[in-house]
Amino acid sequence: MLMRTDPFREIDRLAEQFFGTTARPAMMHLDAYRDGDYFYAAFDLPGVDPDTIDCTVERNVLTVRAERRRPAGDRVELVAAERPMGTFTRQLFLGDTLDADKLEAGYDNGVLTLRIPVAERAKPRRVAIKANGDGHRQINA
């Protein structure tokens, strides 16, 4: 039999009130960064079946939903239940500078990674300057 002595249980109980419980899981952790012409978002989802992950984009809102389930069956006897279970949801607001139509997603080693290209209109570009023969710049409308 598994026995547990935890002098910090009261602190854990208070933390669950603020950060989530098994009935209301805490939000999934995220790292977001830009690397060159791509924006990346990496979500920690250890122990989540990839078939339960749903990623949608509506307008400029990216929504990620995932579900972690407990083992079930007639012979399963729950001895300890400390890992958060249930449905996790996270939303990100994407700026107009990202091309959400070309979003790519991959799931590896418990991490969901989204790769979103920076939109062409948001990339720095060189502006050509025309000069007339007398050294004064002139704008032709």
**Tens of pLDDT, residues 65-113:** 999 988 888 898 888 877 788 888 899 998 888 998 999 999 999 999 9
Does the pLDDT value for residue 1 go beyond 50? no
Report whether pLDDT(42) > 50: yes
CA 118 to each of CA 14, 60, 103, 110, 127: distance values in angstroms, whole numbers, following the listed order? 41, 14, 10, 26, 19
Amino acid letter for position 28: M
Token look-up 């920076």 returns: 118
pLDDT tens digits, one per residue of 62-78: 999 999 988 888 898 88
Under the phi-then-psi rule, with left for phi > 0, alpha for psi from -120 to 50, and beta for the rest, what region is 70?
Answer: beta
Order of all β-strands in the sheet with 86-93: 54-58, 61-68, 86-93
pLDDT of residue 56: 94
Question: Is pLDDT at 18 greater than 60 in this prediction?
Answer: no
Q: What is the DSSP letter of 137?
A: B
